[in-house]
Amino acid sequence: MSTATTDLVREGRTHPASPLVKAGRIVVGLVGVAVVNVRDTEHAGKWLPLVGLALAVFAAAAAYVSWLFTSYRIADGDVRVNSGVFIKRVRRVRIDRLQAIDVVQPLFARMLGLAELKLDMAGGAEGRVAIAYLRLADAQALRASLLAMAAGLDHRTPEAPERPLLQVSMGAVVGSALLSTAALIAFCWIGIVLVVVSVSGSSGIVGAALPGVLGVVAPLWQTIQTHAHFTAAESPDGLRLRHGLLETRAQTVPPGRVQAVRLVQPLLWRIPQWVRVEANIAGYAGRRADEGHQHNSTLLPVGSRAQADAVIARVLPGVDIADVELRRVPGRAKWRSPLRWWTFRAGSNDQVFAVRSGVLTSVHAVMRHEKIQSVALSMGPLQRLLRLATVHVHSTHGPVDVVAPDRDFAEAREMLDVEATRARQGRAAAGPERWMSAAPPADA
């Protein structure tokens, strides 16, 4: 297929309203700092509006100048973003190596009908390009064109159709946050503060304890804001996830990019029988460290076991994680992990290596053999004394750690050799991965 018909050529600046979105986000932060610093002064009421206005003007001017020096170009199989006023910076992503394309709408962008396009390839933060901001329809159309080009199709190929898979209710999202460990800490902290206030009769303690209360409540709000209105749909280009309350995100998890999966069930979630599904996804390896969120690796924030199985079946086709026989560790492991040793289990079959552990929070993790990048065995001083060893199975970085602790040394060595062999055989048998399958002709 010729480059003229397959590739898209486009260059220019982002939407002219982009500076307003960036300035709005800056102003909110700067005004918050200003309020904290002038709230106790005698003339706070007089100067605060002027300070806010000055900050808004400065932020808008800085954002506009930055926008003037920012452009993007799509040509010759690359996406390039040029930026920088004093120091020029060029970010480049090869389209044939794209591993993730997300459409993100922060609150201010949604108000203006804009969206940010985030493109990732292997390499974490250094392999990422963001085009911010475009009209939502333009961002979605450009994403569809890049998806087609990544699959070797004409850029005018329409986006593949999708079929709804599941939807998480707002009640389940809020309930999962309230039944989390962070919520328990928040409720305990608030209870302690109320008891101290009632005993001492001093309301000043409330002000002193407020930062601590906000610190434990903030994760609850972040969970609700991130996973609100969560939906999943299946399509030829992968599992499509949409979620977010103030900031919305449309994410596609391509087939073959999921390296490992885990089922997580906190203690109180066992009452409604909820679970969470997380994954290590190639292309999102660098995001957790520099963005501080897990939403890129969450395939199901909360749901029933049937919903979890439906999601896992799409990202690990043909795998039944309940079908893997898991073996316990020897009884002498209790001397090293007296509270958790009885929960340590590990096993494998022809498809995956699986581990399970956890007292308060149960975690069941699996990894396909062909996705294993390395296998390691470690022994601490006490483990050597007890003839125990820990087997580590490595893949792309992410929330899923596949570790089999405190196995009998002979069993651990056998696991190490077997997994190394299965990983090598699995990679040799695996076919090439494509971003998406070619959609059938319209008249098919």
In which residue are the tokens 């389209």 written?
A: 95
pLDDT value for 212 = 66
Residues contacting residue 107 through CB under 8 Å, at least 6 positions apart: 246, 247
Count other Cβ atoms within 10 Å, centred on residue 210: 11
Q: For the ranges 137-151, 164-178, 353-367, which has the lowest average pLDDT?
A: 137-151
Give the pLDDT confidence of 381-415 residue by residue, as tens digits. 999 999 999 999 998 888 999 999 999 999 999 99
Residues contacting residue 318 through CB under 8 Å, at least 6 positions apart: 351
- H-helix segments, 317-388: 381-386
Please choose, from the candidates 115, 111, 24, the residue with its C-alpha nearest in 3D space to the C-alpha of residue 64. Answer: 24
- H-helix segments, 261-393: 287-291, 305-315, 381-386
Give the pLDDT confidence of 31-74 residue by residue, as tens digits. 555 555 554 555 555 666 676 677 778 888 888 999 999 999 99
What's the N-to-C CA distance of the chain in angstroms? 21
Give the integer Cα–Cα distance in Å for 265 and 93: 37
**For residues 193 and 63, which has the higher predicted lDDT (pLDDT)?**
63
**Between the ranges 97-101, 368-372, 396-400, 430-434, where is the mean pLDDT highest?**
368-372
Mean pLDDT on 61-90: 90
Amino acid found at 279? A
pLDDT value for 346 = 97
Give the pLDDT confidence of 418-443 residue by residue, as tens digits. 999 999 998 887 766 655 544 444 34
- Above 50 in pLDDT, residue 269? yes
Q: For the ranges 33-37, 218-222, 258-262, 330-334, which has the lowest average pLDDT?
A: 33-37
**For residues 250 and 159, which has the higher predicted lDDT (pLDDT)?**
250
Mean pLDDT on 13-24: 88
- Above 70 in pLDDT, residue 30? no
Residues contacting residue 384 through CB under 8 Å, at least 6 positions apart: none
pLDDT value for 50 = 72
* pTM, to two decimals: 0.85
Please choose, from the candidates 268, 271, 359, 277, the residue with its C-alpha nearest in 3D space to the C-alpha of residue 319. Answer: 277
Give the integer Cα–Cα distance in Å for 387 and 413: 12
pLDDT value for 193 = 73
Q: How confident is the model at residue 120 (pLDDT cuts 50, 70, 90)?
A: confident
Question: In 222-357, where do the E strands start and end?
Answer: 231-235, 238-243, 248-253, 258-266, 275-281, 298-303, 327-328, 345-348, 352-357
pLDDT value for 427 = 84
Q: How confident is the model at residue 196 (pLDDT cuts 50, 70, 90)?
A: confident
Backbone angles phi, psi at 345, to 5 degrees: -140, 150
Give the integer Cα–Cα distance in Å for 106 and 23: 13
DSSP-assigned states of every residue in 176-195: HHHTSHHHHHHHHHHHHHHH
- Structural domain boundaries of the chain? 3-159, 164-252, 256-429
- Above 90 in pLDDT, residue 94? no
- Above 60 in pLDDT, residue 124? no
Q: For the ranges 21-35, 36-50, 121-135, which has the lowest average pLDDT?
A: 36-50
Q: 147 is written with which tokens?
A: 């998806």
Mean pLDDT on 209-215: 67
Mean confidence (pLDDT) of the chain: 84
